[in-house]
Amino acid sequence: MGDRIGFIGLGIMGKPMARNLLSAGFQVTVHSRSPGPVDELVSGGATRAGAPREVAASSDVTITMLPDTADVEQVLVRPGGVLEGVSDGSLVIDMSSIDPGSTREMSAAFASKGVAMLDAPVSGGEKGAVDAALSIMVGGDDAAFARARPVFEALGKNIVHVGQSGAGQVCKACNQLVVAATIEAVAEALLLAERSGVDAAKVREALLGGFAASKILEVHGQRMLDRAFDPGFRVRLHRKDARIVQHAATATATPIPSFTAVIAQLQKAVEAGDSDRDHSALYAELVREARDHG
Amino acid sequence: MGDRIGFIGLGIMGKPMARNLLSAGFQVTVHSRSPGPVDELVSGGATRAGAPREVAASSDVTITMLPDTADVEQVLVRPGGVLEGVSDGSLVIDMSSIDPGSTREMSAAFASKGVAMLDAPVSGGEKGAVDAALSIMVGGDDAAFARARPVFEALGKNIVHVGQSGAGQVCKACNQLVVAATIEAVAEALLLAERSGVDAAKVREALLGGFAASKILEVHGQRMLDRAFDPGFRVRLHRKDARIVQHAATATATPIPSFTAVIAQLQKAVEAGDSDRDHSALYAELVREARDHG
């Protein structure tokens, strides 16, 4: 637990995660684009750093929690980035959800400087971050995973070492594929019930008793019945994750015929102005289509 | 429990269901195209009938369990069918999985003769039928449902009265939509993991801990990892049910963009010779596509 931790990216997820690391007794150095969250963390006991390179220079473990692949590349491997500040034997953990291919390239760049890098994307959302109850999907070597475990345990509950570098990001991509596809399937089914004059709540109840049962049918199915599309996990973030899935599928020549249709629905939902609604608003997109073309 | 029951269609599902009705103490008259199952049931205490009309004439409750919409129409409303044999006050229960629109038409035809008809498709497969543990989704009026309840209780466990005539079939269509779409999503995700060099078993395990969790990921995900595609529920039957979904969606102008892609996958699996494998063989179809076009 003696590790000094650097934390870069204090957004909706990063801020409560950094706070949980402070609560767990770690020394934490923080950096973020917006000054407000940095001030908050500093008043809670963290140290401020001016740039990613400086965070790395004063930390044994540097964590990034950023919106997208380009942001992580900027902070880790571009001029002024973490790669310039790390010292031999330190550890980098990217907890953002980004492209597995880019992850492997960055991991190789760090390895050439004697620094291990783990990919450790999470699921569980803001609530999971605040409650230190995130699911964490980890890619990287065993020694790095063992070293990072106390850090992960301060942040989450369901911690799975999936495989080597990139495996955490691949796992997250698979998760986002299954979640969005299941939401879309439930939306199509409940709308079919409704437009057939059948009580969709009864259909949800009946389906929960059999092979159609899922966490999504339970939670997001209820959201659809209630038209409760306040986030939750935003459509635009799932659209971003869907691009990562698409890119990973293209890179590995993996056919994803049904998810390709789901990506189109996410895109249409974004274009219709549902970016900041919960991803269960894929139901609202279908309702619009039924109204416009029905 | 004094009702005399007629049972038409002694296939993989119908035979054990009729047997469970005998075990529950009902008088059962049976009819089926193939003589073997009829002989079996007769040796178990059932009475043989020569035609659907005769079954209806000697029964208070006539049940059909047949492969497809056309078979049910043939047996119920064509010449020599149940409609010609029923008497005022009797009850018809179709437990096949067929088109909701056709169901409503047949129900109206029976109503004009003073006969109630319920649609009561099931899920749970051969094992559910043998164990009297089927899920039963029922459409029709309250009085008919109440009268049929002792019959359903001899056949299944999770008995839901979904709504008026056709609602049971709509519910079953929704079930089959969600089940096939979830199987396809899980197949795409696990293949993406595998082709990314990541252990798909670890991915399944990680995903079961979060919002991607489903009965399908648990059961059919494991089948995919094991390449265990012995049925189970056959691809060709799910292809048939998918046509019912498609027809119901067209009839109600309901958009089903992702399920449309799933239907295409089921069709390709049939054409590739996987008709009699379990529907989790949608995974095998993706593997073929990756091999042929990758």
Q: pLDDT of B153-211, one tens digit each?
A: 999 999 999 999 999 999 999 999 999 999 999 999 999 999 999 999 999 999 999 99
> Nearest Cβ partner of A256 from B181, B188, B199?
B188
Record: contact A192-B163, CB cut-off 8 A: no
Pair B177, B139 in one domain: no
Pair B193, B157 in one domain: no
Q: Is the pTM of this model over 0.90?
A: yes
The minimum CA-CA distance between A104 and chain B, rounded to whole Å, is 12
Which residue range is the domain that position B148 belongs to?
5-165
The full DSSP string for B149-164 is: HHHHHTTEEEEEEEES
Which tokens belong to B282? 């949608």
Last residue of a domain, one of A145, A165, A185: A165
Pair A121, A217 in one domain: no
Pair A143, A25 in one domain: yes
Upper half-sphere CA count for residue B292 (Cβ side, 13 Å): 8
Q: Is A55 helix (H, G, I), strand (E, B) or coil?
A: helix
Where are the alpha helices (H) located in chain B, listed in sequence order?
14-23, 35-43, 52-57, 69-77, 82-85, 100-111, 125-130, 142-153, 167-195, 200-207, 215-226, 235-251, 257-271, 282-293
How distant is the alpha carbon of residue B163 from its chain centre?
18
% of chain B beyond a pLDDT of 90:
96
Which tokens belong to B3? 């009702």
CATH number assigned to the domain comprising residue A247: 1.10.1040.10
Does residue B247 carry a pLDDT above 80?
yes
pLDDT of residue A88: 94
Pair B201, B149 in one domain: no
CATH number assigned to the domain comprising residue A113: 3.40.50.720
Count the neighbouring beta carbons within 10 Å of the beta carbon of residue B120.
Answer: 30
Record: contact B210-A124, CB cut-off 8 A: yes
Which tokens belong to A40? 């908050």
pLDDT of residue A263: 98
Pair B110, B229 in one domain: no
Which tokens belong to A131? 């409650």
Q: Is B101 helix (H, G, I), strand (E, B) or coil?
A: helix
**Count of domains forming chain A:** 2
What is the interface size between A and B, counted as CB pairs within 8 Å?
A: 274
Q: Mean pLDDT over residues B95-108, rounded?
A: 98
E strand or H helix at B134:
strand B134-139
Pair A151, A206 in one domain: no
Pair A143, A175 in one domain: no
Q: Is A192 helix (H, G, I), strand (E, B) or coil?
A: helix
Does residue B1 carry a pLDDT above 80?
no
pLDDT of residue A241: 97
Rounded Cα distance, B225 and B163, in Å: 39
Which tokens belong to A269? 């939902």
Active site residue B172: yes
Record: contact A216-B219, CB cut-off 8 A: no
pLDDT of residue B2: 67
Q: ω into residue A232 within 30 of 0, thus cis?
A: yes
Instruction: Identify all chain B residues contacting A186, using CB atoms and an 8 Å cutoff.
Output: 178
Which residue, chain included where needed, has tokens 């089927």? Answer: B134
Pair B230, B153 in one domain: no
Pair B161, B205 in one domain: no
Q: ω into residue B232 within 30 of 0, thus cis?
A: yes
According to DSSP, the residues that pair with B159 across neighbouring strands are B136
Check if the beta carbon of residue A123 is closer than 8 Å to that of residue A135: yes
Record: contact A197-B163, CB cut-off 8 A: yes
> Which ipTM value was assigned to this complex?
0.96
Read off the DSSP letter of residue A234. Answer: B
Count the neighbouring beta carbons within 10 Å of the beta carbon of residue B22.
Answer: 18
- Reference B152, options B186, B118, B178; nearest CA is B118
Query: In b/e form, how buried is each residue of A262-286, taking b as 16+ CB within 10 angstroms?
Result: bbebbebbbeeebbebbbbbbbbbb
pLDDT of residue A1: 45
| Structure-model confidence comparison of residues B214 and A2, the more confident one | B214
B270 confidence band (pLDDT: 50, 70, 90): very high
Pair A160, A190 in one domain: no
In a structure prediction context, what are the per-residue pLDDT tens digits for chain A, which is 294 residues long? 468 999 999 999 999 999 999 999 999 999 999 999 999 999 999 999 999 999 999 999 999 999 999 999 999 999 999 999 999 999 999 999 999 999 999 999 999 999 999 999 999 989 999 999 999 999 999 999 999 999 999 999 999 999 999 999 999 999 999 999 999 999 999 999 999 999 999 999 999 999 999 999 999 999 999 999 999 899 999 999 999 999 999 999 999 999 999 999 999 999 999 999 999 999 999 999 999 975
Angle between helices A282-293 and A257-271 (to 10 degrees): 80
Instruction: Identify all chain B residues contacting A124, using CB atoms and an 8 Å cutoff.
Output: 210
Pair A204, A270 in one domain: yes
Last residue of a domain, one of B105, B132, B165: B165
Last residue of a domain, one of B127, B150, B165: B165
Question: Please, what is the average pLDDT of chain B?
Answer: 96
Which residue, chain included where needed, has tokens 């049939």? Answer: B270
pLDDT of residue B293: 77
According to DSSP, the residues that pair with B60 across neighbouring strands are none
Instruction: Identify all chain A residues contacting B179, using CB atoms and an 8 Å cutoff.
Output: 211-212
pLDDT of residue A204: 98
